[in-house]
Structure 1
């Protein structure tokens, strides 16, 4: 059982690393005067996947490396995380996501400034948070539900193989994977979700990943940053949570 202090520290640090990598790769391919400008969607998907890899490996010994309220809720429904620990996990994930967004902004500070000076400067919210290509709330919500279920249910099944922490549930049997392989599988899964399911909405699949950086975008002094789009902000929170609940219930019924 993880201690409260370890959970808090692990989830703050791990989620900060996740968002530093994720927002960092979005900044790299978006901002002018970045050497990766225009590198494209495949690079973004792998950047986020490597963020999951680095963040989860770092946090796993302390907290299990959830890094995502949807993962925490799905694990709690499946019986792997005590409900009494869920608020602490979510608080730490939100703080870590905000910290990671600030670090990414600091790292690309000069590029943000140069981007704002151009006559063709684009809003920067997409570096921090998600947004749909076609704004249809019902369809956008369904996309996030399905994509998150595509993360959480396989992740709970990975936990049957007694890898480090992530998604483990009571009664899990030792499987074919070694101690650290589950984290690599989750990272590759996130890359696959980005490539296959991320096109419509940008695949939040994580309420903290979207809401924490969106709050940071709203308060940071970024010139010409554009709107933080609070009218859309509920979808990357509610959709992943619904997907997590469905995944946890399916796991309990089927496995």
Structure 2
């Protein structure tokens, strides 16, 4: 066994403990393989190293089925953190943005209060968003009840499931996906799937079809991808600026009606 160490001097208090708690929480029966935690401290997290391999269609279909099982393991509430986590973060190791977490009974209120309004405020503090942007976020928040689709119970989410956080490796039983770097919380299952689509994932159509075969997605889910992508898109605008700012504004304009 070889070890991969993530380390950062001066990491936010509880940062690596939260990541370790998230990985353990996501490791459910019949769910995806998650990176194995070997050790965790205030400034580091040691994981079992994953040997990379090319993704295959069979592995992608397996990932879709297993994501459905992970989501169906559920969470106590929208916004709930994994046991052992006291705070949550979203973003790169060198500049993670703290997320507002707590307990909400419905997804639209959670998404407005815990994601969209906070990222608008974080963007204004960093000089990325202005008053007009804050007003646009508010218009989207006001429309969330009609944009959200059918109500669903809180799912157990990876929370940052872009393609870079899905590794592929060869095992004795074939190629499989391994999940890393979660921002785990109770949320809407469409959020993880929209995140996979945000920057593209290999064999995405096969992942989604296999998922839908296990736990069918509600009607109109494809029309809701953009609303679930708005928060991570806005995070990229705040952290990296550039074209992400314009993309966030265009998305808000489309969503606010």
| TM-score (norm. length: structure 2) | 0.29
Larger RCO: 1 or 2 (CA < 8 Å, sep 6+): 1
| TM-score (norm. length: structure 1) | 0.30
- Relative to its length, the structure with more strand (as a share) is 2
- Relative to its length, the structure with more helix (as a share) is 1
